[in-house]
Amino acid sequence: MKSNKIIYLIIAGATVLASCKKSFLDEKPPTAVQIGDAIKTESDLADAVNGMYNVARSSSLFGRDIPVLGDELADNAYVSNTNSGRYLQEMTYQYISTNAEALDIYGQGYTTILQANRIIKATSTLPATTNVSQLKGEAYIMRALVYLEMENFFAPPFTVNPAADGVPLITQPVDPATITNPASRPSRAKAVDVYAKIISDLDSAYLIMPATYNTLHAANSEYLAKYAAKAIEARAYLYKGDYANARDAALLVVNSGGYTLTPSTSYVAYWANPAAVSTKVETIFELALNTATNNGTNGLDYIYAQAGYGDMLAYNDLYNSYTATDVRKALILTTSPAKGFVVNKYSNVTSATDKDDIKIIRYSEVLLTLAEAYARLGDNVNALIYLNTVAQKRDPALAAYVSVAPQLYTDILNERRKELAFEGLRYFDLTRLNLPVNRAVQAGAATSVSTLAIDNVKRILPIPQAETDANPNIKQNPGY
């Protein structure tokens, strides 16, 4: 592996950040190819892909901000009244155009996208080998995944307004130093076009990626594989409200991906194990956080664990939604009554050798997506099969669900909440379904707002002011 070769790829125009709380250039990938260096070999390409993963695992993106906000903006996690000062604006929905987390996600998101662009572009000059196809596919999937998150945070849900402005679509490598004319900087694409690109990238990845990993990196869950493309595509179609295609993408994963659920007897141990998975049990894709690549005190584990900041706690009503025989309940600790319900999905915060990987997509999510897709399409029989597959795996004493729509929709949504808690998905389940956020009154919480109505402008984050100041073609979201 090459080291200390840093790529500084940022979105065109978003370069005026010296006065901001944090620059999105702070997280430097240790294994990447400098912008001035050509990607000439498969080994160079693998280095660039590793650099892409390093950018994505930053605390400004998947390494903390995305999963934290995905639960805090909803009704799963709250900031304790004894806290380190992080994520307080989000508790009251008082973020403004200079919000640090919006800036971080936007900037780090486009840094990742532009790294993926460079990888995809470079493959056109390399031999069409299996390794090159695999690595190109990984870049396609990562670009699609990040664009999906950017749409989630910065644009109205597709299911609410498909004609709305989405985020800028950039599909070629960009060196900001070469852009001198502000008029040439990108404007916001329509949401329909952003989603079309997301789906196109995932289809392209699935088409070209081999069924087995390449020989340039490990064959485990810390690298994107062929069926990860379809798993993420199922999520994208679900968020788009295209239930037939969500069903079809999820079925490909179920029928051909080879994944299985973690048994109930080892579910807690699964979360306690920080190592990558090579058996296709549960984890489809996760970002590695080891001794060299972890985010330290800026990590997701540190914000949840009491051995770290311990800022984020679970709402009482979420804890109470689990039955006594549900194995997932054991991941919320009650050993500190004065502190509240402590999240223990990330328990390796004090490990000197390996930290908790960031779970990006798991097999249980695919099965619950399949259940919802079938339910929305009027197939209650299959919807119940997949809903009960997950629910009874986690709670062996649970009587099978027998509900019909619309109660079936509620049951699936509640199982998604319980299964995917603290993984950053809850808020987007509420927004895509155009549901209000109703937070329970919580003793011990920092000041918060209990309800976020469906017409509140704070349902989406602001485009960072650093971007709108530098790029005259970018329109701000209403209300900012």
Burial class of residue 306, CB neighbours in 10 A (0-12, 13-18, 19+):
middle
Domains assigned to the chain:
42-215+223-460 (1.25.40.390)
Q: What is the DSSP letter of 350?
A: T
pLDDT at 4: 28
Q: So what's the pLDDT on residue 83?
A: 94
Pairing of strands 358-362, 341-343: unpaired
Task: Show the low-confidence residues of the chain (pLDDT under 50).
Answer: 1-31, 35-36
Tell me the pTM. 0.92
List the helix and strand counts (H, then E) for the chain: 16, 8
Q: What is the pLDDT of residue 27?
A: 32
Q: Report how far apart the first and last C-alpha atoms of the chain are (Å, whole number).
A: 44
Residue 324 CB-density burial (10 A; 0-12 exposed, 13-18 middle, 19+ buried)? exposed
Distance CA 28, CA 14 (A): 17
- Our CA angle for 90, 56, 158, nearest 5°, is 60
Which amino acid, 18?
A
pLDDT at res. 26: 29
DSSP 266-320: GHHHHHH--S--SS-BSEEEEE--BTTT--GGGSHHHHH-TTTT--EEE-HHHHH
Cα separation, 440 vs 341, whole angstroms: 14
- H/E segment holding residue 361: strand 358-362
Query: Residues 369-407: pLDDT tens digits?
Result: 999 999 999 999 999 999 999 999 999 999 999 999 999
pLDDT the model gives residue 175:
61
Of 87, 85, 45, 57, the residue nearest 69 (C-alpha): 87
pLDDT at site 318: 97
